[in-house]
Amino acid sequence: MATPVRVHPSEQNSLSDRALSALAALKESTQERKSPMDVMNLPTALAHCTDYVTMSLEGYPKEAHSPWIIKSTLGRLSLKMMMMKGSMSHDTDAFIPGEEKKKIANTKESISTAVDNLTSALTSFISSSSSLSDHYLFGKLTKEQCLKIHIFHIYSHLSRFMEAGGEQSKKSHRVNTVETEPESPR
């Protein structure tokens, strides 16, 4: 498992720089990688992460949104815990409700093309001054929170392909490659 990296809020740009560097290094990989569960190939996981980033600017599918009571209670609690842990734990086999699963699951993109698409989406997000769409589980987010979630999400999916050996849960895979300073109470 990778050693956690402490990231102070003032170093936020370096967090996105490291994520973009990791994607660039991944692009150099020439072998097709499958997760240990053989559910998603790497281009499919990258396409899913690209959609997740894009949806934060363009809007999440209507059917993905949780009721407001869930967003304002469990969603906010989950968000706070994730930010404190500096990692995301989620079902890495699941698609976002309403996401075009068929299109993504059947992707024949090369790793290089999939990395380019994700890098482009992440770069667009970072440079965008547009308002963010409400997250389907967490509700309204700051740009800093949303960027951290994107990076945690990408690391969560990529770790399935990068870790050698070891027991992995099919339903949930905790990644602790990025550790952030706890957010100040609002």
| DSSP code, position 68 | H
State residue 173's pLDDT score: 38
- Helices and strands in the chain: count of H runs, count of E runs: 7, 4
CB contact at 8 A, 119 and 17: no
Rounded to whole angstroms, what are the CA distances from 18 to 119, 135, 141?
Answer: 12, 24, 22
Mean pLDDT of the region 35-60:
82
Give 181 or 127, the one with higher predicted confidence.
127
Q: Tell me the C-alpha distance between 21 and 17, whole Å.
A: 6
State residue 25's pLDDT score: 73
- pTM greater than the 0.85 cutoff: no
State residue 85's pLDDT score: 92
Mean of all residue pLDDT scores within the chain: 76
Amino acid 186 reads: R
State residue 29's pLDDT score: 58
Mean pLDDT of the region 2-27:
62
Give every CB contact of residue 47 below 8 A, 6+ residues apart in sequence. Answer: 104, 107, 109, 114, 117, 118
